[in-house]
Amino acid sequence: MTLFGLTAPVIRPTALVLNILVAVIGSFQFWRAGHFSWKLFWPFALLSIPAAYAGGYLQPSAGVLRILIGVVLLFSAVRLIFRRSDPPETNPPGKPLAVSVGAGLGFLSGLTGTGGGIFLTPLVLFCQWARIKQAAAISALFILVNSIGGLVGYFSAKHSIPTLGIYLAVPAIIGGSIGSYLGSRRLPVRGIALFLATVLTIAGIKLIFTR
């Protein structure tokens, strides 16, 4: 959306809508493939949902929102470039730490319209809290619940959803179905990850530095 010149206030709610559609599919696919762990997921989600509501309710200035989303895109690109293989051992975080991390990521997800999974996944892998597919599984549901919370907060501030979200719904569902199936059951595709990282980098730079 950034590459096509859409404004940050339009991108934010549209992204939340598409997040919900795709995350429903992704959560189901990864759960069906046996990668989801409720024990690992719920501490992250406990306070993230009300925090996402608070973030979605707020309406920062357009300039601040552009920078926030731009940084998120660049962070996502770095995550894809440096994506690594499964750690030899995993050690899940303590519940107080997971709850605190989830609250912070939930607020950021509602504020930027990202769902928070793009932060949770690399953090989980970097800290060796879970393996790649397990991290993807909990991140999919994390995106779902926080996108719902953020969208409810957005509605509570008396905003409306741009019609663009309706037009993009079907392509998002199709792409989400294909991507979640491949991600949960097939080998990771390094070339696609690098291509997407390039697109995200260009979009992030354009959003931050273009006025």
Instruction: Write the pLDDT tens digit of every residue in 8-42.
Output: 778 888 888 999 999 999 899 889 888 899 999 99
Burial profile 41-54: b = 16 or more Cβ within 10 angstroms, e = fewer: bebbbbbbbebbbb
Looking at the 3D structure of the chain, how many domains does it have?
1
Domain that holds residue 200: 8-209
**How many CB atoms neighbour CB 94 within 10 A?**
10
Average model confidence (pLDDT) for the chain? 83
Residue 35, domain member (yes or no): yes
How many angstroms separate the CA atoms of 137 and 87, rounded?
A: 16
Q: Which residues of 161-184 are buried (b: 16+ CB within 10 A; e: fewer)?
A: ebebbeebbeebeeebeebbeebb
pLDDT of residue 38: 93
Q: Residue 117 domain-assigned? A: yes
Q: Give yes or no for residue 184 having a pLDDT over 90.
A: no
pLDDT over 60 at 187, yes or no:
no
pLDDT tens-digit profile of 49-108?
Answer: 999 999 888 877 777 877 887 888 888 788 777 766 666 788 999 999 999 999 998 988
In a domain, residue 1? The reply is no
Asked, for residue 99, whether it belongs to a domain, the answer is yes
pTM of the model: 0.79
For residues 162-189, give the mean pLDDT.
80
As a whole number of angstroms, the distance between CA 108 and CA 68 comes to 9
Please check whether residue 15 lies inside any domain of the structure: yes
| Residue 2 belongs to some domain of the structure | no
For residue 131, being part of any structural domain is answered with yes
Distances (CA, A) of 97 to 44, 94, 115: 9, 6, 19
> 160 pLDDT band (50/70/90 cuts)?
confident
In a domain, 112, yes or no: yes
